[in-house]
Structure 1
Amino acid sequence: MDILNVMEQPLVDNSIVSWEYHNYLPYISSKFDYNDEIRIPIQELDAYTLPCESMLYLEGKLTKEDGNPATKLKLINNAFAFLFREIRFEMNGIIVDSNRNVGLTSTLKHYYLSFNEDECIKLDNAGWFPRDNRVLNIADNKFSVCIPLKMLMGFFEDYRKIILNMKQELVLIRSSDDIDSITSIDESEKPKIHIEKLYWRMPHILTAIPQQLALTKILEKNQEIFIPFRSWELVELPSLSENTRHVWPVKTSTKLETPRHIIIAFQTNKKNNIKSNMSEFNHCNLSNIRVFLNSERYPYNDLFLDFKNNKFATLYEMFSRFRAAYYEKENEPIFSPKQFKDIAPLVYIDCSRQKEAIQMGSVVLRVELETSENVPKNTTAYCLILHDRLFQYNPMTKIVKQV
């Protein structure tokens, strides 16, 4: 037994002797207007970088469109992610991971499903304010935030190792406006978010001599290094028909990119509507939902939901199981059942365990849903698919390819 091992030596890990953040600026560090492409390069090939702990720093101010102070405008939760319609991570010019509709994807995947209430405290610094009535008043209309990139892309969350001897680039594409980042009681106040500073904060790792020699041998042997991670893909159905039964053929994927976790959500009249809050979702009186991967059905039983009579316990239980299924952590959801119903009545489907027959050839994802009443007008459906992805790179030849 360990309690009897009185001669056990203390373990001191000196393999990393330095951990420092370096700031990297875009090619053009003064132009962050609507629809602009912002490229932030890291050209230092001899540096050991740790992308999973990197972050995006933003500094700026919120005003009305004419430049005057905003008196009634408020930033929603995760507002700064909504400033970008796409984010990409590239290695030596090859796209390794990308995320479209950054605000909605990160809100669904990370902030509502991945974190519990206590963990949200530290995310105030990233623009996530669940305790401030779900909106943020900015003092003097100015802000500064550090957003961990693991909140925005699957690569940064899952691949927790250094990158050796490779050029890296972070690419951001600004949204066409700032309306989805803002909520206001006055429709006449048009928002304008001015980004004054933006840079990529990347950790540089300095190792001890034995570890340095081991990493150098990897380069000398011309070995390929695998990069496994789970990618996030958001598929949008812009307008559900106004009836009670829907069949949605979402997508067809390859064997490797078979969906492992699926999140489905609905929003009614929220996009490009400044009076609404894009970080909140609607239940649309959902009564039943099922997902098919080829012919296999998830979940196995019907759900028999009735939101009007508060009969959604099964759906909440599925929602609360995400952390256990995805991270193998304890079940501590961010929302109580009432908050779940009012703010984010999401449908989480765990299809991580699959029969071998499903993965033979292509996989067709289809969603069938039923509602107790006709779906309201201007209702959008979202399907967030979390699936495996595998890349490999050679730090000597600089070749990057998907497996």
Structure 2
Amino acid sequence: MEILHVTGQPFNDTSIQEYQFHSFLPYIPGKLSFNDEIKISHPDSDSVTYPANSYIYIEGKLLTHDNKVPTKLKFINNAIAYLFREIRFELNGVVIDSVRDVGLVSSIKNYLSLNENQSLQLQNAGWFPKRERIETNEEVPKNNVLVDSHGNFNVCIPLRLLLGFAEDYTKVILNVKMELILIRSNDDIDAVVSEDETERPKIDITKLSWEVPHITPSIREQLRLNKIAHSNQDLPIKFRSWQMIEYPALNNSTRHTWSVRTSTKIETPRHIIVAFQNNRKSKLTKDMSKFDHCTLKNIKVFLNSERYPYTDLQLDFKTNRFAKLYEMFANFQESYYHMTLNQPIFNPYDFKIIAPLVHIDCSRQKEIIQGGSVMLRIEFETDEPTTSDISAYCLILHEKEFTYNPLTKIVKQL
């Protein structure tokens, strides 16, 4: 046993000599307005980089349409992510990972992934899942969570909150050009909420940079990495990508069948999250970071003919009968991250009023599903008829696999 090794030396990892963040700016630093494509390039060099721990630094100002400091407008949770409609990460010109509807996707995913302790640090990224409770604190000025009394804000958003690649691929990248592309949304309405519509938002981003860790290995490790880089060897990149598909307007019915998509074997869904919103998009008085249960009664996901979950849920939100749904939500971390102890960010009450998400764990599948193309279909029922104001979202977490060659610079998707 380790406790009996009385002559053992204390462990000291000297494999890394230096770990420093380097700043990279957009090609056109001033082009940060609506619909602009913001491209940030990390040049092809002999550097050893660690994009998994990189972050996006953003400075800006929250104003009204007439350039005044707002008195009613407030940032929603994860507001800064809602300023962008797409994010992409590329290696040598090949798209490795991308996410559309950055705010919605990252909100849904991180409601499941994060716990309360992580949320405290991530307030620095604009992550306030229980913002109303923070605003009741006397030390926080009214309406000024994240922004100061002049409307200024600055955040550091870890890339792992926005892209599955950055969350899963925790290895360095060798000698290959990296690019991060962000596309601004066409307005700022979904990033804020107000008690009425007398103030219209104007959010100016004044500075944006990509902060990337550069690593200087020890001489021994550098020789080992150089040998790999010059061996003409393909290095694997495997991660779980996040893809969201929207059903923008439901029919007036209590029963729905949604044929979501057909996927290949390698991109078979492993986890599926279904969410609903009732008339929230582009509504200044509605919080886009929150979701609605829409009197959901039952939901089933089919991968070809295989059904998940196996039994009906028999939900009734009017009588608070949603314990099974909360249990599925709370068990995400154990299944996705192989944790022994789940630490959900919400208790059942907060889950109901903030984000009543449906998590379907389909990570364990029969060989018949894994053998060919997979058709994803969702069937759900509600107690009350849905309307065209209700949108449904399906977030699919599926595997992706690439290889890259540090010598030839060739990047391939498998």
Amino acid at match of 1:283: H
Matches of residues 330-369 of structure 1 in structure 2 within 5 Å?
Answer: 330-369=341-380
SS class of match (2:195): coil
Q: In structure 2, do the counterparts of structure 1 residues 165 and 209 end up closer, same or farther at CA, with 3 Å as the change threshold? A: same
How far, CA to CA, are the matches of 1:261 and 1:251 in structure 2?
Answer: 14
Q: Structure 1 stretch 172-181 or stretch 355-364: which is displaced more?
A: 355-364
Distance 1:309 1:223, change over 3 A: same
Q: Aligned to 2:331, which of 312, 315, 321?
A: 321
Distance 2:332 2:92 in 1: 34
Aligned amino acid, residue 350 of structure 2: Q
TM-score for the superposition, normalised by structure 1: 0.98
Alpha-carbon distance between aligned partners in 1 of 2:343 and 2:160, rounded to the nearest angstrom: 20
3-state secondary structure, aligned to 2:285: coil
The residue type equivalent to 2:119 in the other structure is: C
Instruction: Please give the alpha-carbon distance, in whole angstroms, between the structure 1 residues aligned to 2:167 and 2:4.
Output: 39
Aligned residue runs from structure 1 range 197-212, under 5 A: 197-212=207-222
Q: CA deviation at 1:350?
A: 0.2
User: Using the alignment, how far apart are the partners of 1:3 and 1:24 within structure 2?
Assistant: 47
Check the 8 A contact 1:316/1:337 in 2, yes or no: yes
Aligned counterparts of 1:248 and 1:164: Cα–Cα separation in 2: 43
Which residue number corresponds to residue 82 of structure 1?
A: 82
State the match for 1:242 in structure 2.
Answer: 252
Residue among 185, 188, 207 paired with 2:198: 188
Among the aligned pairs, what percent are the same residue? Answer: 58
Q: Report the alpha carbon displacement of residue 8 of structure 1 after superposing the two structures with TM.
A: 1.8
Tell me, yes or no, if the aligned pair for 1:284 and 1:376 is still in contact at 8 Å.
no
Counterpart in 2 of 1:220? Answer: 230
Paired residues for 1:284-295 under 5 Å: 284-295=294-305
Partner of 2:129: 130
In structure 2, the residue matched to 1:277 is: 287
Counterpart code for 1:107? S
Query: Aligned to 1:301, what secondary structure does the other structure show?
Result: coil
Residue among 404, 407, 410 paired with 1:393: 404
Q: Deviations over 1:98-148 (max 9, x none)?
A: 0000000000001x1011112110011000123431786222100000000
Bigger drift between 246-255 and 38-47 goes to 38-47
Amino acid at match of 1:271: K
Give the superposition deviation at 1:2. 2.2
Q: Following the alignment from structure 2 to structure 1, what is the Cα–Cα distance between the partners of residues 131 and 102?
A: 22
Q: Offset of 1:88 from its aligned partner?
A: 0.1
What letter corresponds to residue 378 of structure 2 in structure 1? V
Structure 2 residue ranges without an equivalent (≥5): 136-142
Q: Equivalents in 2 of 1:131, 1:345: separation in Å?
A: 14
Structure 2: distance between partners of 1:2 and 1:69: 61
User: Which residue matches 1:306?
Assistant: 316
SS where residue 13 of structure 1 aligns?
coil
Task: Give 3-state SS (helix, strand or coil) of 1:218's partner.
Answer: helix
Q: Deviations over 1:205-261 (max 9, x none)?
A: 000001000011112211110000000000000001121000000000000000000
2:270 matched to 1:260? Answer: yes
Say yes or no: does 1:231 pair with 2:241.
yes
Moved over 4 A (4+): none
CA deviation string 1:190-215 (max 9, x = no partner): 10110000000000000000100001
Q: Deviations over 1:45-104 (max 9, x none)?
A: 111100000000000101112222222110000000000000000111110000000000
Moved more, 388-397 or 183-192: 183-192
Give the match for residue 32 of structure 1: 32
Question: For the residues of structure 2 that align with 1:253 and 1:60, how far apart are their CA atoms?
Answer: 40
Aligned partner of residue 80 in structure 1, secondary structure: helix
How far apart are 1:361 and its partner, in Å?
Answer: 1.4
Matches of 1:271 and 1:308, distance apart in 2: 25
Deviation of 1:169 (Å) = 0.4
Secondary structure in 2 aligned to 1:105? helix
SS of residue matched to 2:338: coil
Tell me the CA shift for residue 44 of structure 1: 4.4
State which drifts further: 255-264 or 66-75: 66-75
Is there any run of 5+ residues in structure 1 with no aligned partner, and where? Answer: none
CA distance, structure 1, for counterparts of residue 125 and residue 214 of structure 2: 22
- The structural deviation recorded for 1:359 is 1.5
Instruction: Give the count of matched residue pairs.
Output: 402
Is contact 1:41-1:169 (8 Å) kept?
yes
Q: Partner of 1:114 in structure 2? A: 113
Amino acid at match of 1:129: F
